[in-house]
Amino acid sequence: MDKKPSTVNGADQTLGRCDSNDIALKSLFLGPQSENSDWFLSKINEVLQHTFDWRRSCFPMDGMAISHVDRKDPNFKTMRIRLAESLQSLLSSLENETPKFTPRYIGHMVSEISLPSLLAEFAMLLHNPNNASREASKVGLTIEREAIQALAQMIGFNSTEARGHFTSGGTIANFEAVWRALYQFDRRCSTALVDIKNKRSKPEDFFKLCHSPAPRTQRTDSELDLESHSLLEQGPWDLEADEILGTKFRGPIILVPNNKHYSWPKAAAVFGLGSRSLWPVALDEDGRLSLTDLQSKIEKARLENRPILAVVSVAGTTELGEVDDVGKVQDLLDCYLKEGIHIWHHVDAAYGGFLCSLQHPYHSLTSRTMTALSAISRADSVTLDPHKLGYVPYACGAILCRNQSLYQCHRVMAPYLQENQESRVDWATTLEGSRSAAGAAAVWLTAKTIPFSAEGFGRIIQKTIDAKEVFAQTLQSVSEIRIVSPSDTNILCFAIADSNDSIAGLNEKTKRLFEFIEKGPNFCVSRTLLSRQCYSKMIQRLCAEWNIADNEESDLFVIRLVLMNPFIASKEMNIHFQTEFKFAVESFLKTGAKVTEHD
């Protein structure tokens, strides 16, 4: 067996100790071996004691509802025993849960949770806020507003003008973007239909009218007349648009990259747009949105008089972590804006949004990636997932819009709830009704503890990107390993192949390696299938670079490593995780690679 790197007292002697600034960051996590457990336990007790004291200070003259006599009652004690036993059963079952806190977990977009977020979420949960109600969440709504401002500032929005709120995750945040884009479209569409009906505009101008930069607010027509032509009010089946336009009204479309997240087909179904309303934009040979095809699709929609609800670009794709050329997408849309055509631009930055905390000279991302990230602030709306690279507990997503006019949406009122004007978050326009303030508190305390900047939060993310580079360099020393390039973030994908292998042979070997690692106790990885339908150009390029015979039909099976654990590159631990992982791959190549499935 190959010899492992030497260590002395658990510290790697070739790399030395961590930088003092990096050591400070270690105080923000519990640690793989619960190294910060004593301090964390003291803070948990502090949170609990504060809650106990606060309860006792509120209306003390009311008396106790649970008396000393009650607590001595046999049934009371029996119920406590039952709860204790059930709790112990739960804790025992959780010992079989996937240990996502360890640097050995490099499977999906989930990792260690930060202590600020845990403490804030725990404290907020004890107060059980509901941000749909200002009466029930006075503090929670203030916390949410300030946390949204911190996120807005991180991605480059004007934090005083930006609006947004927290959601249960990226899927709902993307839904919120569609909801707002649909509302903006509906205002323009209904106005356009009325203008065409009243001979003020022509049917052939419908596309441009539906993309007016500023919808007409001073109307000579009654509000009722506009509502009778509203998609949101009447439904797509009750509009008289066919008669007005002289052709079949097929509704708006959404232009999404072909490697779209699964939330987009869901959104098309939920909002009644239909799966055919999603027009996939082809990917280039690097697996990113093709600007050429995007322009072609926009022109196609324009020619067919088919309004565009939104153009979606991605900052950190789910599979490969790729970052689309957000700025170039916006440049293209700005060209249409000069013609009086505004097209909503949404950036799905659920994973990569927190990379905006990286800045020169503390980053090792390419200038192309950094340019793309800096352009997120030019978009109309953005999705973020703090429960990914924000290191806060599930479930926590966020939708941000550049200003109030973009955030504005269809309202559904409830007479028993007050409007949250002070919080700048209008419950009447959020898709989710009841919303916990726990996620917002987790982000708030994280931002208060370590700013979302290069000197602060960016240092944590930088370590994971450095770890990706080290993993890539280490694995490249194995001749059979084929690294998927480019790699824009901290996600690394690779395959296994022999010289002059076929894509079928590569897929078979890579699947066996995945099964070998999955059955082993040392690492947890993920895998994905790069479909020919989405990644045809990229697969062709990779096969040529890898000297692999491409039958131009097969998809590409790759192993996926998400290297986001903050301790993956720790210098004080007993092992180098990248070397240990390399040993696992080499062990497979010596033994398992030659074994067939039948064996």
Position 158 scores a pLDDT of: 95
Could you tell me whether strands 397-401 and 526-530 are parallel, antiparallel, or unpaired per DSSP bridges?
A: unpaired
Q: Which residues pair with 280 in a beta bridge?
A: 256
Residue 481 near residue 496, CB atoms below 8 Å? yes
Task: Read off the pLDDT of each residue in 236-244 and give the average, rounded to a whole number.
Answer: 80
**In the predicted model, is pLDDT for residue 512 greater than 80?**
yes
Distance from C-alpha of 449 to C-alpha of 359, rounded to nearest angstrom: 19
The answer to whether the beta carbons of residues 407 and 161 sit under 8 Å apart is no
3-state secondary structure 173-223: HHHHHHHHHHHHHHHHHHHHHHHHHCCCCCHHHHHHHCCCCCCCCCCCCCH
Tokens of 393: 């507990």
Could you read off the pLDDT of 22-49 as tens digits, one per residue?
Answer: 888 999 999 999 999 999 999 999 999 9
CA distance 124 to 423: 17
Residue 309: closest CA among 359, 255, 347, 272: 255
Q: Provide the edge-to-edge strand list for the sheet that holds 381-384.
A: 163-167, 397-401, 381-384, 345-349, 308-314, 253-257, 278-281
**φ, ψ for residue 562 (rounded to 5)?**
-105, 100
Averaged pLDDT for residues 397-422? 78
pLDDT mean over 100-114: 95
Rounded Cα distance, 534 and 531, in Å: 5
CATH class of the domain at 6-56+94-113+456-599: alpha beta
Q: Where are the domains of the chain?
A: 6-56+94-113+456-599, 163-410+439-449
Q: Write the pLDDT tens digit of every residue in 258-293.
A: 998 889 999 999 999 988 999 999 999 999 999 999
Q: For the domain made up of 163-410+439-449, give the CATH fold.
A: Aspartate Aminotransferase; domain 2 (3.40.640)
Stretch among 478-482, 513-517, 568-572, 574-578 having the lowest mean pLDDT: 568-572
pTM score, two decimals? 0.92
Give dist(CA 36, CA 34) in Å, integer.
6
Q: Residue 222 — very low, low, confident or very high, per pLDDT cuts 50/70/90?
A: low
First to last CA, the chain: 25
**Other C-beta atoms lying within 10 Å of the C-beta of residue 237:** 6
Residue 571 pLDDT class (50, 70, 90 cuts): confident
Better-predicted residue by pLDDT, 362 or 347: 347
CA distance 155 to 163: 13
pLDDT in tens, 150-194: 999 999 999 999 999 999 999 999 999 999 999 999 999 999 999
